[in-house]
Amino acid sequence: MRELLELILIFARIGAVTFGGGYAMLPILRRELVEKRGWTTDEELMDYYAIGQCTPGIIAVNTATFIGLKRKGIPGGIAATIGIVLPSIVIISIIAAFINNFAEYAVVRNAFAGIRVCVCVLIVSAVVKLWKKSVTDALTLAIFAIVFLVSVFFDVSPVLLVLISAAVGILLQAGKAVKAK
């Protein structure tokens, strides 16, 4: 029971201080779960993010659920999910109740402008860290370039891009294994 409460509290703290969604949350998740607690590795965290991107729902919630599930099974998945969404529900409810009273104030508009900039920085930071771990050779660079170009210039589902990239990765690794024999 203590570990379930710990999951709720850790993910609630992460959810309470992270603005900008799942990608902005990656550096905080990494610091808390990989560096501080050793609950997961960088590679596993990236895998959770990739799976979270492909499955219905919010990436951060999916990732928290996967990590909770890994730690304590189904009760852990539920606890981590509750923890990650609870702060958002509370904060959104409070903002919704009062937003009309404060939305016109310059200080509120400026605060949101600052938050948007901070979120962009957090997302770029997450991309740089993911890049260092993911783009490791010419083949992964080629996959990155192709997926980037397709996602920028064509209206293709991210799920389809992830599935195709996974298939290409499997085929490339299988080809390397055959070549090594």
Give residue-wise pLDDT tens across range 77-110.
999 999 999 998 898 898 888 877 777 888 888 9
pLDDT value at residue 22? 65
d(CA 140, CA 138): 6
Residue 156 phi/psi, 5° resolution?
-115, 140
pLDDT value at residue 36? 92
Provide the 8-state DSSP code for 1. Answer: -
Helix (H, G, I), strand (E, B) or coil at 155: coil
- Cα Rg for the chain, rounded, in angstroms? 19
* pLDDT < 50 positions in the chain: none
Closest to 15 measured CA to CA, from 30, 3, 29? 29
pTM passes above 0.75: no
Q: Which two tokens stand for residue 98?
A: 């009062």
Residue 157 phi/psi, 5° resolution?
-60, 135
pLDDT value at residue 78? 95
Q: 23: part of which helix (H) or strand (E)?
A: helix 22-29
pLDDT value at residue 177? 78
Tell me which residue has tokens 């195709």: 164
pLDDT value at residue 150? 95
pLDDT value at residue 20? 64
pLDDT value at residue 52? 79
